[in-house]
Copies of this chain bind each other. A is one copy, B any other.
Amino acid sequence: MSSISHIKPEIRILGIDDSALISDQILIVGAFFRGGEWLDGVMSSRITRDGMDGTETIINMTTSSKHYGQIRVIMLDGVTYGGFNPVDIVRIHEATGISVIVLMRALPDLDMIRAALEHLPQSRERMRIIQRAGAITRVVTKDVSNPVFIQCAGIDTDTACQIVTLAATRSNIPEPLRVAHLIATGIICGESCGKA
């Protein structure tokens, strides 16, 4: 479990989001933040659309960063990137030593995911990775009428909820993820767009 005993307002968080599916190599963007306050670095990499390289690419992007030693939390936007490229948060925590928090805007529909995965190779392995993210907890951040949902690895749920709330300074989404999304869509689509 995490060694984050006291949460500093400027806790360093790496928020990672992907871009639109307009090619086979999907841009992922890491926004390195001080708490929910300000951007202190940007990193990027590419993963294969509907591939199986998401987990290792995120691990490599994180551990090769000059900020690696400072990052206390990795925040992910769901556990599938670049289509249905599944991200193994337990493996990311084990390989990086960093706590992982997955954020979702709504509860995932596992039946729908399972049906979609049937059309892809290694569908069982993908489902296993997705389910490995574990228990889901509801968190109210900035907007009481618009809760979010989290899963985590290497950190207790209470601490994860506190960090998510601390970092959601501008909207109900933590800043590192909101900004990673703006960057990824702004670069790939020419202009950033909101997320439903």
Q: Which residues of A contact B (CB under 8 A)?
A: 27, 29-30, 38-45, 61, 64-66, 170, 175, 179, 182-183, 185-187, 190-192
Contacts and interface: CB of A to CB of B under 8 A. Distances in A.
- Copy tally for this chain in the complex stands at 2
Given A42-B182, A42-B187, 17 more contacts: A29-B187, A38-B170, A38-B175, A39-B179, A39-B182, A41-B186, A41-B191, A42-B183, A42-B185, A43-B191, A44-B186, A44-B187, A44-B190, A45-B190, A65-B191, A183-B183, A183-B186
14 contacts: A27-B187, A38-B175, A41-B191, A42-B182, A42-B183, A42-B191, A42-B192, A43-B190, A43-B191, A44-B187, A64-B191, A183-B183, A183-B186, A187-B187
